[in-house]
Structure 1
Amino acid sequence: MKKLLLLCCLCVAAFFLYANKSTEDYEAEIEIPLLHSQNAILLDESGQSVYEKNADAIIYPASLTKIMTAIVAIEESDDLQKHTMIEASTIATFTAQNASMAGFKAGDFVTVEDLLYGAIIPSGADATATLANVIAGSEKDFVSLMNDKAHELGMNDTHFVNVSGLHDDAHVSSVRDISKLFRYAIENPIFYKILTTRSYITAVPGELTMSSTLFTKMAGVEGAILGGKTGYTPEAGLCLASLLEKNGKYYLFVTTNATGNVRSEPFHVEDALSVHAAL
């Protein structure tokens, strides 16, 4: 199973390293539909941008932040089965801020792996905060690792203030920067597996089933989007970093500032499906 997963990830990575068409070729072939999102970038298999909409504008990344949180946690962890406890203060802090939660309870003993799934699948702030503490000792020190990685990846428009993506005027990025991060992250087999998982059951007492915030918004749609990370704050709008597949070819599509909210129609997902149909 692990060999198969590694092979899948290597195939995706190889696609994104192989250039075969120019931007002009794609512009002639792809008619991008009108998007709900105000910011967008589409990368082809080589990592070349084939469509952009306000790609360099400064945006609030919301829970797309958790892509960085997860990949840094993976790279900094030497044991994904290491156990830690969910603190009552963590639950109280993020419940008070109405943040999205994975569903852990105070006192739960969980693994780093559980927390990684909790960060990406249901987009839990309880998971990201606990990851920061167990890996770096504090959110502040973990955020420093995130900003170091952003610098390493050439994310020049990006500055992280927290690990969850809750709004802060200084917590900023651009969809071009997020596409650099996302492309880097999916080449990691552990991250890729988590990103493309529809649901996950932890081993905490009583077991906790987590469902993907992306796939639950795609009822009846199969195959178009292989995986992705959603996000939302009122300031960021609906956001999505998605991995698309069409006719054996792979694309990365990152959008922010779509109209709507978490209770409205999933306009960010509609944008991704519309672009997939146009490919």
Structure 2
Amino acid sequence: MQNNNIHSAVGVGLRHPHLDFFAQNPDHLSWLEVHSENFFEVNSLARKQLRSIRQQHDVSCHGVGLSLGSVQTPDSSHLQALVDLVNELQPTMVSDHLSWSENGGVHFNDLLPLPYTEEALQVFVRNVMQVQDALQRPLLIENPSSYLRFNHSTIAEWEFLNEVQRRTDCHLLLDLNNIYVSSLNHDFDAQHYLNAITHSAVKEIHLAGFTVKEIQNKKIWIDTHSTHVCKEVWDLYRTWNQTNPTVPTLIEWDTDIPEPQILLGEAHKASIIINEISNVQVA
């Protein structure tokens, strides 16, 4: 059973402090999203709890470690652990990022940016195809937040994503907070980004909060997932929903994790927007 105040399309990121809450309160949401790598250990308590939660909720697996932008192909042991998790959970969606985080066996605790070039595009496409072949399902690829740009990039980020999708038949995960953060850091129009993306390929939306820091007298907007969704991102979400069918929408909150009721409050805000637009369209 689901709380009638929250639309069935809206979920939240399931983090370890909230495992007990959602295991014991299955009626608040219809779906939850987990970071895949946190549940790779088959016999861990977290994996056992997730099995129980999966009986009451749809689950999506969101990865941070495939390093799809690396020159090397995805690590075979990591990929096998993901395949095993997906085979057990049968999640509604499996996703990862337009980024890289591993080189020569050295792993970085960040989602690092790619140069948007034809060469990088070919590498990324190859790696997405390998993962999709192993999973026997399409991946969702998420747009990153970015704080620097490569001088030798020749392709706009939205064009790069569209071409990845065209060549691999993957799906897209559109993070509206990442678009907003990057638009401020790089002075582009967030709405132009939204308009340029292949809308039919978008199968999930992420919403989150950011932090503003000042470094050498310059402001930098950082996608920290540590606070409420801002008004401007809610506005982007409203605009998106006015012209596109409702897709699964996730509230992400990864640091300074609040009580579950705060997350549910953000999910309720997304539900209000979906319902208001639906009612207008019906009328």
* TM-score using structure 2 length: 0.31
RCO higher in structure (CA 8 A, sep ≥6): 1
TM-score normalised to the size of structure 1? Answer: 0.31
